[in-house]
Amino acid sequence: MTTSTVPAHVEHRANPMQPQPFRVRKVQNDTHDTFTMNLTPVDGGAEFKFQPGQFNMLYVFGVGEVPISISGDPTAGGPLVHTTRAVGTVTKAMRKLKVGDTIGVRGPYGSAWPVEEAKGSDIVIVAGGIGLAPLRPSLYYVLRHRHDYGKVVLLYGTRTPSDILYRKEIEGWRSRFDLEVYVTVDRAIGAWHGNVGVVTNLIPKAPFDPLNAVAMVCGPEVMMRFTALALQKRGVTPGRTYLTMERNMKCAVGFCGHCQFGPTFACKDGPVYRYDKIRWFFGKREV
């Protein structure tokens, strides 16, 4: 299984449940329901270190706390970046925050994408919807260490063209010669000239060597189920396929048991899991 770490700077904190105040430096609307915030510590603090795939607990004071993956560049330093879809009580309140407001941050928590172990392999990143956000740090990492990897392929599916996250950035990635980017949408009316169909349609023909590829998958659970199967059909083994499990969590450090997923806790054994380790209970309704 991937490394499940509570980083030293969190473990040694007097109270791991205590959020640190961060200031909102920038808010950008990505799509009609998603937004990206840049945060910096109110007290100036040290640079925020994390591994691609890890998440923070973000506390909108007086409203509540939710787990949100870090979507920024793990090698760049600079502000902490989170991309969030406004779906319910906390995330909708978060969306109302303005530059200069404060938010509580605990973390980083959880396991990471296997970007180190995957060196020497082809990389296939399969993202569905907002699932691109937790994968973006691993793409940044791989592109920063581009010569350590074989082919790098991003397959991204969304519902409609207007749901495409990081549109400008994807256009930039597309123009690179060392990265293959394929985008597909479920539904398109009018001016869309790109691919239409579910993201799994892209897997059979994507240019990677299935026997030497590591796949990282993030999206809604049902999408990940079908993606894992399509990857397997292509020849990527479950031992080389990684996916993230989003479970509701409270403490995020393995105390409360809220995020139990089979014999594991998604907050510390996940959210990134190797598929062969969870295959027997992944997709079971009771889990």
Partner 1 sequence: METLEPYLAEHPFFRGMAKRHIELIVGCASNVRFDAGQYLDKEGEEANRFWIIRHGRIAIEIFNPTTGPITIQTVGEGDVAGWSWLFPPYVHHFDTRALELTRAIALDGKCLRTKCENDHELGYELFKRFAQIMEQRIEATRMQLLDLYK
Ligand X SMILES: Cc1cc2nc3c(=O)[nH]c(=O)nc-3n(C[C@H](O)[C@H](O)[C@H](O)COP(=O)(O)OP(=O)(O)OC[C@H]3O[C@@H](n4cnc5c(N)ncnc54)[C@H](O)[C@@H]3O)c2cc1C
- Separation in Å, CA 41 to CA 19, 102, 110, 157, 228: 11, 9, 21, 34, 38
We find the least distance from the C-beta atom of residue 175 to partner 1, in angstroms, to be 18
Nearer to partner 1, 121 or 184 (CB): 184
* Residue 192 binds to partner 1 (criterion: CB under 8 A): yes
Site membership for ligand X, residue 253 (CB under 6 A) = no
In angstroms, give the least distance from the CB of 195 to partner 1.
Answer: 5
Which backbone phi and psi does 269 adopt, to 5 degrees?
A: -80, -25
Region of 69-77, 138-146, 152-160, 278-286 interacting with partner 1 (CB under 8 A):
152-160
Q: Which does 129 bind (CB under 5 to 8 A by kind): ligand X, partner 1, none?
A: partner 1
Q: Strand, coil or helix: what is 82?
A: strand
Pairing assessment for the beta strands 180-185 and 195-196 based on DSSP bridges: parallel
Which of partner 1, ligand X, none does 194 bind, CB closer than 5 to 8 A by kind? partner 1
* 65: nearest Cα among 273, 216, 256: 256
What lies within 8 Å, CB to CB, of 146 at 6+ separation is 152, 178
CA distances to 66, 161, 221 from 212, in Å: 36, 32, 25
* Separation CA 159–CA 70 (nearest Å): 23
Residue 85 in 3-state DSSP?
strand
Number of Cβ within 10 Å of residue 158's Cβ equals 23
Give the pair of three-digit tokens for residue 193.
Answer: 């000239």
Binding mask 93-132 for partner 1 (x = CB under 8 A): -----------------------------------xx---
| Residue 133, binding choice from partner 1, ligand X, none, Cβ under 5 to 8 Å by partner class | ligand X
Shortest CB 185 distance to partner 1, Å: 9
* Residue 256 near ligand X by CB under 6 A: no
Please give the residue ranges that form the binding site for ligand X (CB under 6 A). 55, 64, 66-69, 83-85, 87-92, 130, 133-134, 246-247, 249, 271
Please give the residue ranges that form the binding site for partner 1 (CB under 8 A). 128-129, 157-159, 163, 184, 186-190, 192-201, 205, 219-220, 222-223, 226
